[in-house]
Structure 1
C-alpha cells in the first residue's frame, strides 16, 4: 500500500509511526512554515526551508522497535549550553548543510533518508519557505486582527477563524507546491490528514493550489485523523466536529472517506458521525490514546484503527 501522510510536528510523527506498522511505502509531505526555535533561526539566518518538522518526519520513519539506529538518535540530539549552537538539533544543522550543498531540498531529504535508514520518503509540501497569516478575533481591539507567523498563530490568545499562506519573498503570486508532493498524492492508495496543530500543520496543505487540487482529484482513500484534545491558542473550545467544519471551510471541494477519532475524545458521537457524513465519510471511533502520555496517540492502536478504516482488517 502506498500511503501518504500530510502534516507537521508531533501530529505527523504519530501518523507516520502508525503507518510504518502497516506498510513500508510511506511518504510524508511536511509543512514548511515553521518560524520558531532552531528552525526559525536557521530560516532567518540562511534563508532555507525550516528543517525541524522535516527532521521529525525522518525520525518517525527511521525509528525501529529497539530504539532505532545510532544515526537516527544523533539526528534528534539537541545541543545544550548557552552558546551559538544551544537549542539546535543535529539533524536540523545537517539538513541545512545538505540544502546548501545540493541546492535542492528534495534531493537533500532523499540523502538524509538514506543516512538514517528511512524506507519511505520525506518531502516538503513546497520548496519555498512559506508564511502563515491568520484572521483572529477576540483580541483587545474587539475586531478581526491579522497575525503572521506560525508561532504567533499557534500561541494567540484569540480565536483563529481562517488562515492564508504565502511566500513573503513573492507575495504577488500563489505559493507553489513541490511537484514530487503533488505526484505522491495522486499516486497514493491512501492519504492521511492530521492529527496535529490544525491551523498551522494540517490546513496549510490545503492552501497550495496544486496540492489542494491533487487532494481533490486523487483516487486514494482519504482519511482524517482528529486530535485527542483541543490545542490552546489554535483550537481552544473546538469540538471534534468543529475541526471538520473548519476543514470544509478551507477546502469546500474536498471529500474524505474516513474520520478517525479517539472514543473518549468525542463527547457526542452522533454529531461527529453527522459531520463526517457531510464530508462523504464515515467516523471510526476507537481507543487510540496513549494511556501513559497525555495528548499522544498510541501508534499500535492507531495502526489498528487505520487498518479497519481502510478495510485491511477484513481482508486479513
Structure 2
C-alpha cells in the first residue's frame, strides 16, 4: 500500500510512527515554513529550506526501522552557549547536504540512503515559504479588527484568534508558491493520503495552499484521511472543537473531499456534530481511544495504527486494502 502523509513537526511524526506499522511504502511530505529555533537560524544564515520538520520525519522512520541510534543522534541538540548551541545534529547534516548537492530532493534522498530508512521524505515546496495569518483579537479597542502577522513562530504563538492563512514565496515576487514535483507525483500515485494531526494553521493547512499540491490532493484517486488533534493548541486553535477543525479545512480548500476522519473518543464531546462535519466533507468519522494513556497530548501509535486500519477497511493482511 503506497501511503503519503502530509504535515510537519510532532504531528507528522505521530502519523509516520503509526503508519509504518501498516506499510513500508510511506512518503512524508513536509511543510517548509519554519522560521524559529535552529531551523530559522539556518534558513536565515544560509538561505536553505528549514530542516527541522524534515529531520523529525527522518527520526520517525529511523526509530521504526530499527535505527534507534540514528533517531537519537538526529534529534540530539548541542548545548553550551557557542555557535552550535541549540542546533540539532540532523539539522546540520541536512543543511550540509542541501549546500553540497544543491537540490533539496537529491539531498533528502541521500540522507535516506545514509540512515538506511525505507520511507521517503520530501518537502512540500523546493523553496522556503512564509505563512501570513489574518488574526482577530489583537486590538484591545476593537476585538473584531483583523491584523496580518507573518511567520510560523508568530502565528503559532499569537494570543489572537487566527481566521485564515496564506503562503508567500521566498522569491517575494507575488507569485504563488511552487510545489515539489516529486511530492505532487507521490500524492497522485498514492493508495492513501493522510493529512494531520499537527499545528492546524502552520503544519496542516499550508499543504492546501500550494496550488499544484492542492490540485493533486483534489484529483488523486487515493483514499483521503484526516487525523484530528487530541487537544486545541493555545494561540492557533484555542477553543476549537473537533468539527471546527474540519470547517477551517473546508474554508481553505472548498473543493477537497475526504473519505475518513479519525478522532480520539475522549477528545470529541459531541460525536454527532463531528459525524455531520465529516459527512459534509464526504467522509465518515472514526472515533477510538487513540490517545497515549501516559503522555498527555500524544497519540498512541499502536492504537492510531489500529484506527487507521479500520478507516481504510484493511482486510486479509497488512498490505491489502478493501476495494483495491
- Scaled by the length of structure 1, what TM-score is found? 0.98
Between the aligned partners of 2:102 and 2:69, the Cα distance in structure 1 is 27
The Cα shift of 1:251 comes to 0.1
The Cα shift of 1:313 comes to 4.4
Structure 2 match to 1:147: 149
CA contact (8 A) 1:176 1:209 kept: yes
1:123 equivalent to 2:125? Answer no
CA contact (8 A) 1:228 1:295 kept: yes
SS at match of 1:123: strand
- Scaled by the length of structure 2, what TM-score is found? 0.95
CA contact (8 A) 1:189 1:219 kept: yes
Aligned counterparts, 1:266-285, within 5 A: 266-285=268-287
Between the aligned partners of 1:123 and 1:104, the Cα distance in structure 2 is 12
Aligned counterparts, 1:65-76, within 5 A: 68-76=67-75
Structure 1 match to 2:296: 294
CA contact (8 A) 1:98 1:108 kept: yes
Between the aligned partners of 1:132 and 1:85, the Cα distance in structure 2 is 27
Structure 2 match to 1:304: 306
CA displacement 1:105-138 (0-9 Å, x = unmatched):
0000011111122101000000100000000000
SS at match of 2:28: strand
Of 155, 158, 161, 1:159 maps to 161
Aligned counterparts, 1:40-119, within 5 A: 40-64=40-64, 68-119=67-118
Between the aligned partners of 1:268 and 1:111, the Cα distance in structure 2 is 46
SS at match of 2:59: helix
Between the aligned partners of 2:16 and 2:65, the Cα distance in structure 1 is 14
Between the aligned partners of 1:181 and 1:65, the Cα distance in structure 2 is 22
CA displacement 1:191-222 (0-9 Å, x = unmatched):
00000000000000000000000000000000
Gaps of 5+ in 1: none
The Cα shift of 1:168 comes to 3.2
Which runs of 4 or more aligned residues in structure 1 lie more than 3 Å from their structure 2 counterparts after TM superposition? Answer: 313-316
SS at match of 2:276: helix
RMSD over aligned Cα atoms: 1.2
SS at match of 1:211: helix
CA displacement 1:222-258 (0-9 Å, x = unmatched):
0000000000000000000000000000000000000
SS at match of 2:18: helix
The Cα shift of 1:315 comes to 6.5
SS at match of 1:312: coil
Between the aligned partners of 2:36 and 2:276, the Cα distance in structure 1 is 37
- State which drifts further: 267-276 or 70-79: 70-79
